[in-house]
Amino acid sequence: MPTGPPPAELHLSQRPAVTEPIPGPRSSDLLDEQAAKEANTVAYPLSLPIAIDSARGATIEDVDGNVYLDFSAGIGVANVGHSNPYVVDAAKDQLDAVAHTIDFPTEARLEFIDALDSIAPGTLPGNSRIAFGGPTGTNAIEASIKLAKYNTGRNGIVGFEDGYHGGTMGALSLSGWSSYKSDYTPLLPDVVHVPYPRPQDYETPEAALDGALEEIRAVVSGRADGLEEPPAGIWVEPIQGSGGVVVPPEGFLEGLAEMTAEHDVLLIVDEIQTGMGRTGEWFGSDHADITPDAMTVGKAVGGIGLPLSATVYREELDTWGPSAHAGTFRGHVPAMVAGTRAIEYIDEHDLLDRATRIGAYLQDRFGEIQEDCPHLVDVRGRGLLVGAEFRDADGSPLSDLVDSIQSRCLQRGLVVWTAGIEGHVLRLLPPLVLTDEQARVGMDIIQDVVEEVTAETDTRRGDGV
């Protein structure tokens, strides 16, 4: 059976079509109604004020008929494109058959487990076990915390400064975003945060790596303040996504793997944002020569945004028993079917190569923009996870400028997202099915907008024309 239409045929169009003001009248009504009914926790429409009618491939149509190019993929979810028919058809069939099976076996469940195992990093394929819990990424993080504590008999958990792992109490404890945590303390005890090596802050990548590894070694070996013995585990994003698309220097994950093995500390790689082909390999940690003890997956693993997350780990760690990680929803079967189909689609249509090639193009275009924009201080990323960092001449983060770029891009029909604790990084994470033309059109919009916003900012400050 052919694996669906080619990527070029998945979209509503190759370029945006904005025919109504944004937000248009119907969008405004729905946004107002939402604000009147839903909790204050709603956030995305504050930056991107649209109400969505439908989406296909790398395009979204709002309820007023405006069509957008989507360079955010629902924050790294729609890797094979919104409503990819190859995925949708199979998920619908599964919905017709059965949606909820707790954790009883179904053929679809076992096929998905095999498919995910076959693409897992390092030596995990054929040697992994998988635990399903609640449907969203943070649930997989919670399971991995319990797995590490159970297997090591220790309490300490280690995360990275600026790392993000989710919104539930354990994942929040691991995350390095103090603004998300301060109202909810105390969180888990025995949590330590260590520096993530940020090449952009150092003369050389080696300097960034050596400094960070030295501090991490002290914590992992139990010699640092805050923990009385080596921790149960250390949780790392192969690229810090929400923290600002920070790509660590070469050798970082290998260094971590070496020291965690030495001290029997689990290395848990959080692939929730970097997984399923996003970085041009199946997983972000495939760019390094390591096998994680465990990895967490979410976001794109449910194919087209069906809710699914999982914790995959070395089978020797499968020491716990029935319901050690309990829950009513232990794997959503239509999402599993969608996940299997997404893996097939990515494989058959060479989307890993495509992510690498188009990602390089996006970075090249930012390089051109950088020539005329001194505020664009760094461009980085891997595959289709790309960040552009904006700072003032004195080094202050330019989050207002990035907000302005985001809202003006929307006005021209391009959805982009941001990153960094200070919100000063423009983050692109489009579907892997983005076409060359869509990439060019989207980057033309970003280039125009950055030029416009930079000129206005400089004029206001009196240091421009």
Ligand X SMILES: Cc1ncc(COP(=O)(O)O)c(C=O)c1O
- Could you say which residues in the range 107-146 bind ligand X, by CB under 6 A? 136-138, 141
Residue with Cβ nearer ligand X (169 or 224): 169
> If DSSP codes are grouped into helix, strand and coil, which group holds residue 242?
coil
The contact pattern for ligand X, residues 180-219, with x = CB under 6 A and - = no contact, is ----------------------------------------
Size of the site for ligand X (CB under 6 A): 15
Q: Please, what's the largest Cα pairwise distance for the chain?
A: 69
Q: How far is the CB of 171 from ligand X (least distance, A)?
A: 7
First vs last C-alpha separation in the chain: 60
- Could you say which residues in the range 248-307 bind ligand X, by CB under 6 A? 270, 272-273, 298-299
Alpha carbons 279 and 269: distance in angstroms, whole number:
14
In the numeric block, which tokens belong to residue 115? Answer: 């498919």
| H or E segment and range at residue 333 | helix 333-348
Q: How far is the CB of 25 from ligand X (least distance, A)?
A: 32
Our finding on whether 165 is near ligand X (CB under 6 A) is: yes
| Residue sitting closest to ligand X (CB) | 137
Residue with Cβ nearer ligand X (4 or 331): 331
Alpha carbons 6 and 369: distance in angstroms, whole number:
31
Our finding on whether 72 is near ligand X (CB under 6 A) is: no
Q: How far is the CB of 372 from ligand X (least distance, A)?
A: 32
Pick from 401, 400, 334, 408: which is nearest to 374 by CA? 401
Our finding on whether 387 is near ligand X (CB under 6 A) is: no
Our finding on whether 162 is near ligand X (CB under 6 A) is: no
Is 219:226 a contact under the CB 8 Å cutoff? yes
Our finding on whether 242 is near ligand X (CB under 6 A) is: yes
Residue with Cβ nearer ligand X (230 or 423): 423
Contacts of 38 (CB under 8 A, 6+ apart): none
Q: E strands within 117-252?
A: 128-131, 157-160, 191-194, 233-236
Our finding on whether 241 is near ligand X (CB under 6 A) is: yes
Is 34:41 a contact under the CB 8 Å cutoff? no
Alpha carbons 192 and 13: distance in angstroms, whole number:
48
Task: Count Cβ atoms within 10 A of the Cβ of residue 28 and give its class: 0-12 exposed, 13-18 middle, 19 or more buried.
Answer: middle
Q: Which stretch binds ligand X (CB under 6 A): 32-40, 93-101, 164-172, 254-262?
A: 164-172
Residue with Cβ nearer ligand X (138 or 457): 138
Q: Which stretch binds ligand X (CB under 6 A): 16-24, 162-170, 197-205, 247-255?
A: 162-170
- Could you say which residues in the range 390-429 bind ligand X, by CB under 6 A? none
| Chain contacts with ligand X (rule: CB under 6 A) | 136-138, 141, 164-166, 237, 241-242, 270, 272-273, 298-299
